[in-house]
Homo-oligomer: A and B are copies of this chain.
Amino acid sequence: MAEFALIDRIRARTTGRGDVVLGIGDDAALLQPRAGAQLVVTADTLNSGVHFPAETPPADIGWKTLAVNLSDLASMGAQPAWCTLALSLPGADADWIDAFADGFFALADSSGIVLIGGDTTRGPLSLSVTAMGQVDTGLALRRDAARVGDDIWVSGTLGDAAIALRAWQAGTLDVRQPADDAAIEFLRQRLARPTPRVALGRALAGIAHAAVDISDGLLADLGHICTRSGVGAHIDPTLLPVSAAARARVGDASAREAALRGGDDYELCFTAAPTQHDAVRALSERLSLPLTRVGTVMAGQGVHGAGSEPHAPGYEHFL
């Protein structure tokens, strides 16, 4: 199967948007930005064996490839609009492409983002997405906007993906298929199909000050907010939201440790003035999504735990 046939196979799955003047098929796409909005652009790459286990099903790879980028748009408060996909494949395999597209477009269609271009090349499996969104001018959530006295909030539960990854490394979780055990299956889904918090991010514009998505672990990502905002943070580990599945799997202490340091959850961490407490609670109810206050922005620098020394940064992908 030639490059053009692969592209056609993907193109057949794309949907339209009124602001896509010209989609896939020319040298470039032609798009109509919304008046009064700024453009939000992010790019993330997933490589097989580095960012996901090589045996991950292609549909899960498709989902996650887009999810990690939508999560970055969400953390800026942006509405997803368009994306490109650079797909490097070892061989031209129509079944693989179709399954990959199942996962990719399931998330794309439900998020309102459309694929408007890309490239397929032959090479080791690697997937790069550049995602574009729009946000009303001046309302973007930024890492540099935290203020001393802000509450620190996180969405969902933390540490699930890291625990799933460790279970896979230990041979007790199979990424290729659903598990019979409900707790393990919950954790597998959290690793394989993270939910980017797009609706939350949009709703936080006007409520939150600073935001970041948790891809490298709460300590590391909250650390970015602190560095960019010139502030410190105090976290109370006992407040960290951990799932029943995580606790059942590794116990309470390890679950909290994973919630502090584990990456790949793609939840949002944001700061908001204490006066926004009720607004955040109402948002949690409206979205049926737990939002948990885990600490406070302080003068100083670094992320501190209750009574402990400043924590070191979380893990990096490239060591």
Q: A245 at interface (Cβ–Cβ under 8 A)?
A: no
Is the beta-carbon distance between A28 and B42 smaller than 8 angstroms? yes
Q: Which of A76, A143, A318 has the most CB of B within 10 A?
A: A318
Among candidates B38, B85, B128, residue contacting A21 with C-beta atoms closer than 8 Å: B38
Q: Could you say which residues of chain B place their CB within 8 Å of the CB of A51? A: 121
Query: Looking at chain A's contact residues, is the secondary structure mostly helix, strand, loop, or mixed?
Result: strand
Is the beta-carbon distance between A43 and B88 smaller than 8 angstroms? no
Q: Could you say which residues of chain B place their CB within 8 Å of the CB of A41? A: 28-29, 31, 82, 84, 116-117, 132
Among candidates B46, B228, B318, residue contacting A120 with C-beta atoms closer than 8 Å: B318
Is the beta-carbon distance between A84 and B43 smaller than 8 angstroms? yes
Is the beta-carbon distance between A318 and B6 smaller than 8 angstroms? yes
Is the beta-carbon distance between A88 and B27 smaller than 8 angstroms? no
Q: Could you say which residues of chain B place their CB within 8 Å of the CB of A131? A: 28
Give chain A's interface residues, CB within 8 Å of chain B: 2-4, 6, 21-22, 25-33, 35, 37-47, 50-51, 72-73, 75-76, 78, 82, 84-86, 88, 92, 116-124, 126, 128, 130-133, 135, 137, 140, 142-144, 211-213, 228, 316-319
